[in-house]
Amino acid sequence: MAARTRIKQGLLQTLVHQLCHSSSYYSASVVARSGASATRVSSSAAAPASSSASSTLGSSIQSEKTVVEAAQAVEPKAALERSKLLVLGGNGFVGTHACQEALSRHLPVVSMSRSGRPAATVHDDPWINNVTWVRGDIFHPERWKDTIPLEEVSAVISCVGGFGSDEQMLKINGEANIAAINAASKSGVKRFVFISALDYGLPSFVLRGYYKGKKSAEEELLRKFPYGGVILRPGFIHGNRQVGSLKIPLSAIGAPLEMLLKNAKPASRLPLVGNFLMPPVKVTSVARAAVRSAIDNAVPPGVLDVWSIKRLGDH
């Protein structure tokens, strides 16, 4: 009887153990499956969010790329470098020396005149090959763009001038220079140097068109270039002047007079006669003062008289 009882108790314990193990396994399975399910649910929920974020980032990058490409497409061309010096009337007496002075400073030089490049029989010096010679009409600057891109010009030196009837002198010394001043101003040129002339105070009927033309050009220059317009007013300019195949040694007269009057500055301030005591100036000094005025911002705008030209051009 006792043995049978022990057998029943053993069977009962085995059954309870089995049931407990099954319950434990079942609970673990349920938890595991629940966790997996939760993970799947979480992953499923996260997947659209991740996909949405990736899609948004991709769209943002694409939009940025499109904006950059569009900006590049409409980006204006870089401004041309302004490095050239334009000499108007560069094959004349003062103009040729201005070109040579600029070349000695390693500046790219463009010269425009009615005849363009000087004839080989007149000027056969090697420096001529280093200048860009342009034939043009100074009275019609709207046509310059085909040969002279003013957007590349940093400064202009005008040596344009001449003699003739009053009407001709007014046109050459005044209207031509005014046209050049306006064209340079419109294109953004920063500095403009005008070779004018000392007014000796002669009677009004003497060279009326010459001085009236020079004065009108000076006034226009000061209006259009208040911060970069320089006017040179030399008196008698001496040197070897080329006229056709002939060289005229103006220094034969000018050099002795310059030596004689170089210390006459106080006397040159006298009324009526003072201007007649202004010393002549070497053409090389005028050219050097003109080029320095064109490229050196330290040279103030305004008028340079004979003494200022000598000080700037002789040192």
Exposed/middle/buried for residue 236 (C-beta within 10 Å: 0-12, 13-18, 19+): middle
At residue 122, the pLDDT reads 53
63 in a domain, yes or no? no
How far does CA 10 lie from the centroid of its chain? 109
16 in a domain, yes or no? no
255 in a domain, yes or no? no
How far are the Cα atoms of 71, 139, 170, 229, 272 from residue 64, in angstroms, in the given order?
A: 10, 51, 61, 47, 75
287 in a domain, yes or no? yes
At residue 150, the pLDDT reads 85
At residue 120, the pLDDT reads 60
213 in a domain, yes or no? yes
At residue 114, the pLDDT reads 87
26 in a domain, yes or no? no
Domain of 89, in residue numbers: 84-236+283-313
Q: Which residues pair with 282 in a beta bridge?
A: 238
What the block records as the tokens of 16 is 């309870």
Angstrom distance (rounded) from CA 307 to CA 298: 17
CATH of the domain at 146: 3.40.50.720
How far are the Cα atoms of 84, 135, 159, 282 from residue 97, in angstroms, in the given order?
A: 17, 19, 11, 11
- Smallest CA-to-CA distance from 261 within 275, 280, 248 is with 280
Name residues of the chain where pLDDT drops below 70: 1-80, 120-124
pTM tops 0.85, yes or no: no
Query: Percentage helix, strand, coil, to 5, in the chain?
Result: 55, 15, 30
